[in-house]
Amino acid sequence: MENKWVTLAIRTYQRAQMIKARLEQNGIATVIHNLNLENPEMAVGVRVRIKEIDLPRALGIVEEMEKAWEDEVEKTSPSRGSVLIPVELTDQINEICKFGFHFAKKLKTDVVFLHAYLTPAYTISSASNTEINTYSLTDAETLRRIIRTNNADVDNLTNLIKKWIATGEIPKVKFRFELKEGVAEDEILSFCKKESPSLVVMGTHSKENKSSNIIGSVTAEVLESSRIPVLAITAGIDLKPADIKRVGFLTNFDQKDLIAIDTAISFFKKEDLEIVFIHATEKKESWDEVMLAGIKVYFANHYPNIKMEYAFLKKDGNLNEIQQFLETSNIDIVAINTKKRSLFARFFNQGFATKLLFNVDTPLFVMHM
């Protein structure tokens, strides 16, 4: 029994080699399994195996190495970006606060509330065929009133959030407000470009209250354009962030989906996490089965502790079958990797993420990989 080989750790190829070298320096026989022999540097989650008799000593050595790695990461890595929550100050934000603060605590960062407001339009007057743009006195007073109202709303919302923290409704996380003059979607995307938050959490209405016209929908515009992952939460949802268990991942078998699912797992990671891969297609092809088989092997090797399920659905224009599947399968969050599309393309044709936004009530986690 003492000579039985056991798995000490599952690490990247580079770290596995470092562990192997250190263990062998200490007289512990070590082997690495599950390598891609043609391209070993591309292998993910390779196994470091040792003899069972050496396990107690090896665990101490590896623990010491990983503590040193963690200390080095803290010294050299930039701080993780904040969680951005765009808000209309007069809206009910209970749901998005719960999700935003939950993930801020999980990511060990803070929360930034962003509110964009519009100033009075310039008064355009004509004199001697010359156009002059000026603020009228009425406009100036309106602007002051807007600023006073926004500041009062920020104070009220600050007190409300502090109350929620005190009562345990949301985690204790540092937060601040930023008020920006401008169009909401422009200011959100500008913030994302400059500040690179880790996550954007936005609210959306239930499908019964969503307009069929995407023009003017701030959430839809951000979903289509942001390079930062966006979590869209439906108003009135009963789901609690800590209760997220079943994540439905919509896939077209694109290679970048593998990167996207890694991102999704890092956000929602928990012991009982379940991933349901969903492929929606107009006509099932034999190649789909081949691709699905490859995905099954990949995730069975790299995420052996996560329960995986797979489903083929019929793709239709109104997404009825997808909505029905999400409900009957108890999907908590729908994750999707989508490509950034031009304004011209978005104007004439809704992206799939936007179609989901307007046709399903399940929260969406949208990535651009």
What is the three-state SS of 47-101?
EEEEEHHHHHHHHHHHHHHHHHHHHHHHHHCCCCCCEEEECCCCCCCHHHHHHHH
CA nearest to 227, candidates 348, 347, 339, 109: 339
pLDDT in tens, 106-116: 999 999 999 98
- What number of H helices and E strands is found in the chain? 11, 15
**Cα–Cα distance measured from residue 369 to residue 367, given in angstroms and rounded to the nearest whole number:** 6
For 18, the domain range is 5-76
| Side-chain half-sphere exposure of 172, counting CA atoms within 13 A | 3
**Cα–Cα distance measured from residue 191 to residue 86, given in angstroms and rounded to the nearest whole number:** 10
Element (H, E) at 8: strand 5-11
Q: For position 347, what pLDDT does the model report?
A: 47
Q: For position 289, what pLDDT does the model report?
A: 72
Q: How far is CA 333 from CA 235, 257, 268, 326, 352, in A?
A: 14, 16, 10, 9, 16
Amino acid at 301: N
Residue 269 lies in a domain: no
pLDDT in tens, 244-297: 999 999 888 777 787 888 889 889 988 889 999 888 776 666 667 777 777 777
| 3-class secondary structure, 150 | helix
Check pLDDT > 70 for residue 128. no
Q: Which residues pair with 113 in a beta bridge?
A: 85, 177
pLDDT bracket for residue 32 (50, 70, 90)? confident
Check pLDDT > 70 for residue 134. no
Q: 197 or 63: which carries more pLDDT confidence?
A: 197
**Cα–Cα distance measured from residue 27 to residue 241, given in angstroms and rounded to the nearest whole number:** 47
**Where would I find the beta strands (DSSP E) of 157-300?**
175-181, 199-204, 230-234, 246-250, 274-281
The fraction of the chain above a pLDDT of 70, given in percent, is 77
Q: For position 285, what pLDDT does the model report?
A: 67
pLDDT in tens, 33-75: 765 444 444 444 578 889 888 888 888 888 888 778 766 655 5
- Residue 226 carries which DSSP code? -
Token couple for 133: 């743009």
- pTM score above 0.75: no
Q: For position 43, what pLDDT does the model report?
A: 41
Q: For position 281, what pLDDT does the model report?
A: 76
Residue 23 lies in a domain: yes
Residue 120 lies in a domain: no
Tell me phi and psi for residue 280, to 5 degrees.
-100, 125
CA nearest to 114, candidates 127, 100, 133: 100
Residue 44 lies in a domain: yes
Q: What is the mean pLDDT of residues 215-225?
A: 76
In CATH, what number is assigned to the domain containing residue 29? 3.30.70
| 3-class secondary structure, 299 | helix
Q: How far is CA 173 from CA 55, 168, 313, 322, 366, in A?
A: 40, 11, 40, 36, 24
| Side-chain half-sphere exposure of 18, counting CA atoms within 13 A | 14
Token couple for 75: 């010294």
What distance separates the 2 farthest-apart alpha carbons in the chain? 100
Residue 52 lies in a domain: yes
pLDDT in tens, 301-354: 778 888 888 888 876 656 778 888 998 999 999 999 986 655 444 544 567 777
Check pLDDT > 70 for residue 118. yes
Token couple for 108: 């060990």
Q: Give the chain's mean pLDDT.
A: 79
- Residue 330 carries which DSSP code? T
Residue 22 lies in a domain: yes
State the Rg of the chain over Cα.
25
Check pLDDT > 50 for residue 93. yes
Residue 54 lies in a domain: yes
Q: For position 186, what pLDDT does the model report?
A: 84
Residue 45 lies in a domain: yes
Check pLDDT > 50 for residue 216. no
Q: For position 209, what pLDDT does the model report?
A: 52
| 3-class secondary structure, 25 | helix
| 3-class secondary structure, 33 | strand
Element (H, E) at 32: strand 30-33
Total number of domains in the chain: 1
Tell me phi and psi for residue 146, to 5 degrees.
-60, -45
Q: 269 or 121: which carries more pLDDT confidence?
A: 269
Q: For position 98, what pLDDT does the model report?
A: 92
**Where would I find the beta strands (DSSP E) of 174-229?**
175-181, 199-204
Q: For position 215, what pLDDT does the model report?
A: 34
Q: For position 148, what pLDDT does the model report?
A: 84
Check pLDDT > 90 for residue 95. no
Q: For position 340, what pLDDT does the model report?
A: 61
CB 124 within 8 A of CB 133: yes
